[in-house]
Amino acid sequence: MPHLKIAIIHPQLKVGGGSEANPLWIIETLKKDYDVYMITMGGVDLKELNKCYGTNLKPDEINIISLPIPYLFKNRFDALRGYRLARFCKRHSSDYDLMISTYNVMDFGRKGIQFIADFSFDDNIRRSFDFSPKGVKGLFYKQSPIRWLYLTIAKLIAGGSVEGWKKNLTIANSHWSGQVMKEAHGIDCQTIYPPVAGDFPNISWDERENGFVVMARLVPEKRVDRIIKILGGVRRRGYDIHLHILSRTDDSEYAMSLKQLCEENKDWVFMEGLVTGDKKLEFIARHKFSISG
């Protein structure tokens, strides 16, 4: 009896991001019993992805369909970037027994499964939480006729509809996310928390360092600067704590501002760069606290 064909859809599989753990571990779970297809955009480096996320995926265990990213959209125009992926999935949905979007909503033209990773697909929700870049770049993200036109064009060329993706089974990454979806779109979500993989070293509480660890992309919505300021306030109250930031660094405006903030607090804030595998697990286990912005 032939295996059922399942398509896992994720915009891009980057080493060092957070959302990639979800599709990779879904594939790891399904690969023995189903014919699994990974539909994405851009390059896919299984060796580095396995190293970063703790999976053990081999090229002969998964069918990878990687669509090229138009050059103009590689580092900008996020809303437009995924239009080819959305159109491809809708056009080929009949080729699979099930389609699963592991990064937000998608209209497959039939019922599928979609995981809510964040609310970048809903500009009203995004603005309500002020997840926008600062400075000149942030002006484009503010509500305006130009912003409305840009998002409308992006939705039109993607070829999907709200009515289409509302047919899917929707999975939220927390009860809070599910409640936001219910209030904004009237959708009932099931909650499945993201996977936490790996064997953490067994270090007793008394042996752990009195410090915090944050793992997040260096982008404004992760609010790493706010974390530093909050913990700075804790230190001013007499608590001898420190902070390690585990993240790939780049030369973006926000990352540069964080580097400056870390330099100003270099006696207790440490930017470690990208940390993966057993070293990451040991880093977490060796400290008493984690924190998210």
Class of domain 5-191: alpha beta
Q: How far apart are CA 9 and CA 209, in angstroms?
A: 39
Q: How far apart are CA 120 and CA 99, in angstroms?
A: 21
Q: CB of 265 within 8 A of CB of 188?
A: no
Q: What is the pLDDT of residue 85?
A: 86
Q: What is the pLDDT of residue 121?
A: 82
Q: Hey, which bits of 131-259 come out as E strands?
A: 169-172, 190-191, 209-215, 242-246
- Residue 173 neighbours by CB distance under 10 Å: 18
Q: How far apart are CA 112 and CA 92, in angstroms?
A: 13
Q: What is the pLDDT of residue 150?
A: 64
Condensed to tens digits (0 to 9), the pLDDT of residues 261-271 reads 999 999 999 99
Please, which residues bridge with residue 98 across strands?
6
Please, which residues bridge with residue 244 across strands?
213, 270
Q: What is the pLDDT of residue 140?
A: 55
Distance of CA 58 to the CA centre of its chain: 23
Distance of CA 39 to the CA centre of its chain: 16
Q: What is the pLDDT of residue 107?
A: 93
Topology alike, domains 5-191 and 205-290: yes
Read off φ and ψ for residue 66, nearest 5 degrees: -115, 115
Ramachandran assignment for 89, one of left (phi > 0), alpha (psi -120 to 50 degrees), beta (any other): alpha
Domain ranges of the chain: 5-191, 205-290
Q: What is the pLDDT of residue 135?
A: 56
Q: What is the pLDDT of residue 188?
A: 94
Q: How far apart are CA 215 and CA 273, in angstroms?
A: 10
88, containing H or E segment: helix 83-91
Q: What is the pLDDT of residue 245?
A: 94
Numbers of helices and strands, H then E, in the chain: 12, 11
Q: What is the pLDDT of residue 114?
A: 96
Q: Look at the chain and count its residues.
A: 293
Q: CB-based contacts of 178: which residues, under 8 Å, 6+ apart?
A: 116, 172, 188, 189, 190, 191
Using a 10 angstrom Cβ sphere, with 0-12 exposed, 13-18 middle and 19 or more buried, the burial of residue 47 is: exposed
Residue range 205-290, CATH number? 3.40.50.2000
Residue with tokens 């230190």: 235
Looking at residue 134, its amino acid is K
- Among residues 66, 69, 95, the alpha carbon closest in space to that of 7 is found at 95
SS3 127: helix
65, containing H or E segment: strand 63-67
Task: With a cut of 50, list the residues of the chain below it in pLDDT.
Answer: 136
